[in-house]
Amino acid sequence: MATMLKDSLRTIQVHKTLSPHYTELLEVLEEILILREEHRRRVKRAVFPVEEKLIAAKMAGGLPLVDFSTVDFDLREPQEYFLALLEIAERRSPGETGEMARKIREGEIRFNDLIYESFNPLPLEETGTAQEALEEGEQSLDLVELFIEESLRPSLEKVVERYGDVIGKSGWSEGYCPVCGREPKIGEIRDEEGSRFLFCNQCGFEWSYRRIKCPFCGNEEQQTLAYFTIEEDDRYRVDVCNECKRYIKIIDFRKSKQKADLDVEDIATLHLDMMANDEGYD
């Protein structure tokens, strides 16, 4: 993992040079990745236990290994990581996230509720304390949402490490992550056949998925599936579905033979998100 961290930090430096307008966000990502490695080493127990006898049935039934329809897990370690992540935002904008950290420490906000709502968003009229806490500072909102997702990463990576090979052989064919159920934001084209792999930012798992199929609605009608690229660099594209109006970013580094670091590439391709949004895709 330490080697992967070094590679990621090296990739970030390249993107800082190529895209200086992303420097601040990439610096935040640097801090996150370093902190992630520290907390990954501290994870000693199974925060998300898996019933091994149910794995085959879950994969066949399209059910992810970890069920977030309820959040009854002992999340002390992810909460500790989340509070450490909040300090990154606090250093940049003092006061905006410090109050939220205080409320979590003193029990006014339950961290488990934040996690539950991130997987099970409530209608706006039903949002409670957790969502209100996110809305207290608009400037920190995006970072806090990112940190909530990131807080589970070291613990979920333990599930990936242990069961990733089993999942890979299971024939999983859904567009959401087989480990945690999160929808992908980015993917990659690999090998001579041009196989498409989707990436889960929540747990770091990658899985094979048909190229001519929308991962969000399952649409397979080629005439309603499309993609667009930017002229300067055809290594990056956006796959779109005109049925559900959703999109996913796709990286294709086969010509350059470089290894794609999808955590970094997701941040370094925010212009593709903006382009997709401008075209009416979510």
Say if 11 falls within a structural domain. no
What is the spatial order of strands in the sheet that 225-230 belongs to?
206-209, 195-199, 186-190, 247-251, 233-241, 225-230
Q: Are both 188 and 148 inside the same structural domain?
A: no
Say if 32 falls within a structural domain. no
Q: Are both 121 and 60 inside the same structural domain?
A: yes
Say if 29 falls within a structural domain. no
Q: Is residue 129 over pLDDT 70?
A: no
pLDDT at residue 155 in the model:
97
Give the residue-averaged pLDDT of 203-229: 96
pTM: 0.91
Q: Are both 269 and 208 inside the same structural domain?
A: yes
**Cβ atoms within 10 Å, residue 45:** 10
**Exposure string over 77-106, b if 16+ CB within 10 A, otherwise e:** bbbebbbbbbebbbebeeebbeebbebbee
Helices then strands (H, E): number in the chain? Answer: 11, 6
Q: Are both 72 and 140 inside the same structural domain?
A: yes
Q: Are both 84 and 147 inside the same structural domain?
A: yes
User: Are 64 and 181 contacting, i.e. CB atoms less than 8 angstroms apart?
Assistant: yes
Say if 122 falls within a structural domain. yes
Q: Are both 102 and 203 inside the same structural domain?
A: no
Say if 103 falls within a structural domain. yes
| CA atoms 33, 37, 38, 42: torsion sign | positive
Say if 161 falls within a structural domain. no
State the pLDDT confidence band at 92, using cuts at 50, 70 and 90: confident
Q: Is residue 158 over pLDDT 90?
A: yes
User: Are 184 and 206 contacting, i.e. CB atoms less than 8 angstroms apart?
Assistant: no
pLDDT at residue 131 in the model:
52
CA nearest neighbour of 64 among 163, 189, 210, 133:
163
* Domain count across the chain: 2
Q: Are both 134 and 196 inside the same structural domain?
A: no
Burial of 19 (0-12, 13-18, 19+ CB in 10 A): middle
Say if 202 falls within a structural domain. yes
Type of residue found at 259:
K
Alpha-carbon gap, residue 249 to 254, rounded angstroms: 16
Q: Are both 121 and 221 inside the same structural domain?
A: no
Q: Are both 253 and 194 inside the same structural domain?
A: yes
Give the residue-averaged pLDDT of 50-68: 96
Task: Give the contacts of 278 (CB within 8 A, at least 6 positions apart).
Answer: none
Domain end: 139, 154, 169, which one? 154
pLDDT at residue 250 in the model:
97
Q: What is the extent of the structural domain holding 114?
A: 43-154
Q: Which residue has the higher pLDDT, 223 or 93?
A: 223
Q: Are both 53 and 93 inside the same structural domain?
A: yes
Alpha-carbon gap, residue 186 to 183, rounded angstroms: 9
Q: Are both 53 and 141 inside the same structural domain?
A: yes
Say if 261 falls within a structural domain. yes
Domain end: 136, 154, 172, which one? 154
